[in-house]
Structure 1
Amino acid sequence: MSSIAAQPLSVAFLGLGVMGYPMAGHLARAGHRVTVYNRTPAKAAQWCAEYAGTAGPRQAATPREAAEAAAIVFCCVGNDDDLRSVVLGEQGAFAGMAPGAIFVDHTTASAEVARELNAAAQALGLQFIDAPVSGGQAGAQNGQLTVMCGGDAAAFAAVQPVAMAFARACTLLGDSGAGQLAKMVNQICLAGLIQGLSEAIAFGGKAGLDMEQVLEVIGKGAAQSWQMDSRGKTMIADQFDFGFAVDWMRKDLGLVLDEAKRNGARLPVTALVDQFYADVQQMGGNRWDTSSLIKRLK
C-alpha cells in the first residue's frame, strides 16, 4: 500500500469480483467509509462482514443506492455491457450521484464506452475517469496495481491519492479513453511476450535442456521479464490453475483488435496469439492462466 495519504471519504465500490473485492478492502483499511454493491448480494454481505472493523462498511441493494453519499464511486465489472448496466438507468450509479461526484471505472472496457459514459456524466454535472488496471489478482490483493487513467485532470487529482490505497502507480495518460487505450497497449505487449516465452520453453525442452536452470541463467540478461520470473517455473511444471484467465485475455484482445480496425493499426502477432488462445479454450482452458499458451506446443 502506498504511503500517499488521503483524507477519509465516503466512497462506493461496484463489483466485488477477484479484483474488486480486495480493492474495496484496501479502501476500507485506508480509513474510507465504503459502501459496496455486487450483483450477487451474498458476496457484498461477506465483504461487509470481513471489514466490519473498519470505518463503516455498508451494503447497498442497487448501484444508485451505493452511489448516493459517495464522493467517489469506484467500479470493476466484466465488460462494456456490465458497465452500462451499473452506471445507466433508473437504478444506475449516475442516478444516485451528487453533482461534482466522480465515477472511476477500473473495468477493462472499450475506449468507446469510456467516452460515451464520460459524455453522459458531464451532461449530469458528474466526472468520469476510465482507469483500467494491470497487476492481476495478486496485485489487487497486495495493493500493488498499476492504474492507467483517462479524463479530466482536476478529477484525476482528487482520485489519485484515494486510489493509491490499492495501487503502486496511478497515472493520467490523456483525455477520456486514454486509460483504456493504454491498457490495450499493455495487453498487446503481453500477448507477444507470453507466446515467445512459451515457444522458448517448449524449444528448450525438446532440445533436452534443464529449462529451470536455463531460465535462471537467461533471466539475468536481456530476456528477463515479469512473465519469466513469475510464470516460467509453473509453465515448465504444467501448472495453470491461477492468475489471469484465458477467457479474460480473449475479451481484452477482442477490444484491442476492434480498436485496431478503427484506428488502422496493424497487429499481425496479436491477432495470431488471439487465435492461439482460442485453441486453448477449445482444450478446456477457459479459466487457465494466460501462460497456458505453452499447452499448444507440448
Structure 2
Amino acid sequence: MKLGWIGLGNMGVPMVRNIVGAGIDVVAYNRTQRTLPVEGAQLVTALGDAVRDREVVVLMVSDVAAVRDILFAQGAAAQMAKGALVVNMSTIGVDETLALAQELRSLDLRFVDAPVLGSVKPAENGLLTVVAGGDAEDFDMLKPLFDAVAKAAFHIGPCGKGATMKLLVNAYLGVAVEALGECLTFGAENGLATALMLDVLQNSAVWSPMIAGKRDMLLEQAYDAQFALRHLTKDLGLAVRQASSVGAPMPAVDATLDAFRSAVDAGLGNRDMVAVIEYLKAQVRP
C-alpha cells in the first residue's frame, strides 16, 4: 500500500509511527510545517507530493473545515490519481461526511469515513478502535492500515455510518465526563477527598477505562490535553445537530453541550476534556 498521510497533530504522529512500523510506505504532510519524529516516513512540504500517485490518502485533522480546505481549496483531490481511496479519520458530521463522499465520487475518487475511538495514549500503543463507513471491499483493502493503528476495526455500513457511530460514542463520552465532574464536585463540597472518591468508584459498577485513564489528572489537577475539551465540544455539537435532523431526543447531551461550551468560553478549551470539572467547581455557590 502506497499511503499519503495528512495531519501530524497529537494523534497523527503516533498513528504514522505505527503505520511505518507495520511496513507501509508513508508520505506525510502537515499544513503547519513541522519535524516528523518518525523514522521511515517521508515528510514533504508540498501537499501534492503527499497525494500524487498514492493509492490511499488519509486525513487526520481537526474538523470539516480543515478537511475541505485540504481536499478542495488547496487542491489535494484534484491532484490524486483517478480511483484513489480517500480515508477520513477525522471526526466530522454525518451530513458533512455524505457531502464529501458525493463530491469525491464526482471526481472519480473513492471514499471511506473511518474515525477512531481513543486518544493519544491508545494512538501511541496502536490500541485505537476504527469505526468505518464505506464499501466493504474498500474496508477490506484498508485492513493493514487499520491493523497498524487499532485493536479493532468495525465496518459499520455505507458512507456516513462510521461518522454516526463515532458521534454516538463521543456523545456518551461527553455525558460521562460531565457527570463525573459534577459528582466529584458534589463530593468535594461535602468534604470528601478526590482520592477516596476515586477509590470507591473503582470498586463500583460505574468505574470505566475512561475514569481510570484520567485518575492521575484528577488527582494532580493537571489537565494536559489527551483529548482537548474544545474538540469534544465540537463533537457534541455535531451529535446534537444530527439528532435533531432525525428527531432523536438527546436532552442529557444538550445539557452537557451547554456546560462544555461554557467551559470553553471560560478558557478551558485547550485543556483535557476532564478540565470541565474546573468550570463546575467555579459554579459552586458560596
How far apart are residue 176 of structure 1 and its match? 0.6
Structure 1 position 154, deviation (Å): 0.4
Return the offset for 1:191.
1.5
1:272 is the counterpart of 2:255: yes
Aligned-residue offset at 1:58: 4.2
Per-residue deviation, residues 57-111 of structure 1 (Å, max 9, x unmatched): 241502x33111211111111211211111125x533222223321110111111
Moved more, 169-178 or 277-286: 277-286
Aligned equivalents of 2:23, 2:183: Cα separation in 1: 46
Contact 2:184 2:197 in 1 (8 A): no
Give the AA of the match of 1:67. V
Counterpart of 2:184, as a letter, is I
Partner of 1:88: 72
Do the aligned residues in 1 keep the contact of 2:225 with 2:273 (CA within 8 Å)? no
Q: Is 1:51 the equivalent of 2:35?
A: no
Of all paired residues, the percent bearing the same amino acid is 30
1:13 corresponds, among 1, 5, 21, to 5
- Cα distance in structure 1, aligned partners of 2:144 and 2:220: 40
In the TM superposition, 1:1-298 aligns within 5 A as 9-41=1-33, 43=34, 46-47=35-36, 50-52=37-39, 54=40, 57-62=42-47, 64-88=48-72, 91-298=74-281
TM-score by length of 2: 0.91
TM normalised by structure 1 equals 0.88
CA contact (8 A) 1:130 1:150 kept: yes
Three-state SS of the structure 1 residue aligned to 2:262 is helix
Deviation at 1:231, TM superposition (A): 1.5
Partner AA of 1:120 in structure 2:
E
Paired residues of 1:20 and 1:75 also in contact (CA < 8 A): no
Deviations along 1:135-161, one digit per CA (max 9) or x if unpaired, are: 112222222111111111100110122
Measure the CA separation in 1 of the matches of 2:81 and 2:89: 20
How far apart are the structure 2 equivalents of 1:51 and 1:216?
A: 39
Q: What are structure 1's unaligned runs of at least 5 residues?
A: 1-8
Gaps of 5+ in 2: 282-286
AA partner of residue 145 (structure 1)? L
Aligned to 1:109, the other structure's residue is in SS state: coil
The 1:237/1:149 distance shift into structure 2, 3 A limit, reads same
